Chains A and B, each alone.
Chain A
């Protein structure tokens, strides 16, 4: 476990001398199996979404993704993501810093608690906020008195999304920062660097790939969350419907093509972030090569 863990594919790892890699036949067989599996499990559903989306022609496709309800759902989804992802980013960095740079009791329990939202059923992740902030919930009467709406409004949707995507960034950073150790930061500190200076100049450059990757995953999951948001949204059209909920509505209205068209929009959204990530990686690796 030496060296930094990089979250992107570096060319180096695939450039291997002959004697420490497999024979060409084994390699081809392994690649073949891996690709076949991916094709069956991931590519096939994806293809079916696009086939369905364009079944009724391009006009239906365009009409359904430019529908006012679809656009308001898209806005709500993006707005939710813009609040939830930065919150979880700050948390992820703070948690990784505390866990990887210091020793304290109960660290394993803390890490497990951070993992917990992965394991909680989406149904429950929505329900917990209803139990807390719903009209019959613990804070319900107080909220009603002060006319504050959390459930069935934006704050509830943001909370549920934040919960579901809670561990992504922390999970990405903790092993990375643990592997990097504390020597560099300690060296900087003994040279008199201040807290934030150490972070910005030493730690951040070391973790930025992991961080970026965590943000992308967190973002992707936040955009696509369905179960938890469905419980707290109230499904008011044009108001509290996120994109995934809008897809469900269309599907339930027998507008299958339209619903898959909007779904394909989500896939494209995800692909765009992934492409941006690849471009950034590629640019920086070519810069790096130029430097060397």
Chain B
């Protein structure tokens, strides 16, 4: 677990890090810098007015809340699915394991159209739910469902490998010491799962904030109610207002970056703690 000290006998540090930073710069950093440059065309006041406009604020709230709700639901069910797939045996397991990756493979627009068709008042699910007074399509619930779909693989696929390699011995020992299953889970298994769960949660959440393709179909796009932040970026673009669009994009970008950084730091700390034991 511990890396080499200051001088490693392994070769290739310069080459691999050099290439990593070069490629990262060309594909990600330099293009993203364009967002900053474009936004710099605005004065500070214009920038502030753009990103704190009432509709923009409402859209951040909707994007954040639905992404948060979706990520939390994925956290619970993603863990459950990973647990079931790794630990239990049942028919069709391999197939179901493959199903988990589908949200990555399906174009987001297709997912959006399919979900809207299902949850619209005349759809398969919608026609069951509408008599109960539950509206899904064209409400924040619909947005949340689309984001659950988009984010599910992130949680399952980060938890699964760790769960797979958990040491049986520790669990054995816990049982011998008389711990109940639930207690073993909470005290022995959970701490190991927290770092991957955090990562999965962060990735699903970050992806959810920015998602556009699947959400525009199911959200209904009502200003102040179901209008998401990426849609406002599109709206600005439609009016040839590039700086306004990049200003909102910048706020979202910084928010995502800070959140990912915090999560990565937390994970790094918990890794170090485990390594030190």
| Complex: A in contact with B (CB within 8 Å) | yes
Please state if B3 and A98 are interface contacts (CB–CB under 8 Å). no
The distance in angstroms between the C-alpha atoms of A257 and B105, with both chains bound, is 20
Contacts of B34 in A (CB 8 A): 128, 131-132, 137-138
Please tell me which one of the listed residues A38, A182, A217 contacts residue B8 in the complex, with CB atoms under 8 A apart: A182
Chain B contacts with A in 224-275, Cβ cutoff 8 A? 229-230, 233-234, 237, 242, 245-246, 249, 252-253, 256-257, 259-261, 264-265, 268, 271, 274
What CA separation (Å) do A15 and B85 show in the bound complex? 12
Q: Does B141 contact A (CB under 8 A)?
A: no
A31 to B92, CA, bound (A): 12
Point out the residues of chain A lying under 8 angstroms from B100, CB to CB.
Answer: 38, 42
B32 and A128: CB pair below 8 A? yes
Are B104 and A31 within 8 A (Cβ)?
A: no
Chain A's nearest CB lies how many Å from the CB of B206?
3
Q: Does A97 contact B (CB under 8 A)?
A: yes
- Is A31 within 8 A of B88, CB to CB? yes
Check B90–A31 contact: CB distance below 8 A. yes
B42 adjacent to chain A (CB < 8 Å): no
Partner of B86, one of A13, A94, A108: A13
For residue A159, which residues in chain B have a CB less than 8 angstroms away from its CB? 27
**Is the beta-carbon distance between B3 and A100 smaller than 8 angstroms?**
yes
A112 CB-CB contact with B under 8 Å: yes
Does B132 belong to the interface (CB within 8 Å)? no
**Given A91-B19, A248-B109: A9 and B4 within 8 A (CB)?**
no
B206 near A119 with CB under 8 A, answer yes
Which residue of the partner chain, among A138, A178, A226, contacts B109 with CB atoms under 8 Å? A226
Q: In the bound complex, do residue A121 and residue B261 qualify as a contact, i.e. CB atoms below 8 Å apart?
A: no
- Give chain B nearest CB distance to A254 CB in angstroms: 13
A284 within 8 Å of B (CB atoms): no
Contact residues, B77-96 vs A (CB, 8 A): 77, 80-81, 83-90, 93-94, 96
Q: Which residues of A contact B245 (CB under 8 A)?
A: 127
Is residue A95 within 8 Å, beta carbon to beta carbon, of the partner chain? yes
Give B1-45 as 1s and 0s: 1 = Cβ < 8 Å from A's Cβ atoms. Answer: 111111011111101110111011001111110110110000000
- Cα–Cα distance between A10 and B87 once the two chains are bound (Å): 10
Q: How far is the CB of A125 from chain B (nearest CB, A)?
A: 8
Q: Which partner residue on chain A sits nearest B208 by CB separation?
A: A119
Q: Which residues of chain B come closer than 8 Å to A166, judged between CB atoms?
A: 27-28
A274-B253 Cα distance, complex, nearest whole Å: 33
Indicate with 1 or 0, residue by residue over B45-68, a CB within 8 angstroms of chain A CB atoms.
Answer: 000000000000000000000000
Say yes or no: B35 contacts A14, CB within 8 Å.
no
- A290 within 8 A of partner (CB): no
Point out the residues of chain B lying under 8 angstroms from A138, CB to CB.
Answer: 34, 37
Q: CA of A161 to CA of B261 in the docked complex: distance in angstroms?
A: 24
Residues of A within 8 A of B97 (CB): 9
B149 within 8 A of A: yes
- B-side contacts of A117, CB under 8 Å: 28
Q: Find the B residue at minimum CB distance from A229.
A: B107
With a CB–CB cut-off of 8 A, which chain B residues contact A35? 84, 96
Q: How far is the CA of A19 from the CA of B16 in the complex (A)?
A: 46
Chain B residues contacting A148 (CB-CB under 8 Å) are none
A43 to B106, CA, bound (A): 12
A131→B83 CA distance, assembly (Å): 44
* Separation of A194 and B117 alpha carbons in the complex (Å): 58
Q: A14-B87, A120-B256 are in contact. Are A220 and B109 (CB under 8 A)?
A: no
Chain A positions within 8 Å of B29 at CB level: 113
Closest to A30 in B: B84
**B4 touching A102, Cβ below 8 Å:** yes
B252 touches A220 (CB 8 A): no
Q: CA separation between A197 and B148, bound complex, in Å? A: 44
Contact of A226 with B107 in the complex, beta carbons under 8 Å: yes
Question: Per a CB cutoff under 8 Å, which of B13, B108, B149 touches A102?
Answer: B13
Using CB atoms, name the residue of chain A closest to B2: A181
Say whether A41 contacts B31, CB under 8 Å.
no
Q: Are B8 and A102 in contact (CB under 8 A)?
A: yes
Q: Cβ of B115 and Cβ of A122 under 8 Å apart?
A: no
B104 → chain A closest CB, angstroms: 5
**Bound complex: CA of A260 vs CA of B35, how far in Å?**
35
The CA-CA distance from A104 to B233 in the complex, in Å, is 38
Please name 29 pairs of A and B residues whose Cβ atoms are closer than 8 Å in the assembled complex, sorted by A.
A1-B1, A16-B87, A19-B172, A20-B168, A30-B88, A41-B145, A48-B118, A48-B124, A49-B110, A94-B19, A95-B24, A98-B16, A102-B4, A102-B10, A103-B4, A108-B268, A110-B21, A113-B29, A132-B31, A163-B31, A178-B1, A186-B4, A194-B11, A195-B12, A210-B161, A226-B107, A269-B105, A270-B106, A274-B98
With A179-B165, A270-B106 given, can you name 6 additional A-B contacts, CB distance below 8 Å?
A4-B165, A26-B181, A122-B230, A176-B161, A195-B11, A224-B105
Q: Which 6 A-B pairs have the closest CB atoms?
A: A121-B210, A270-B105, A119-B256, A119-B206, A244-B107, A220-B105
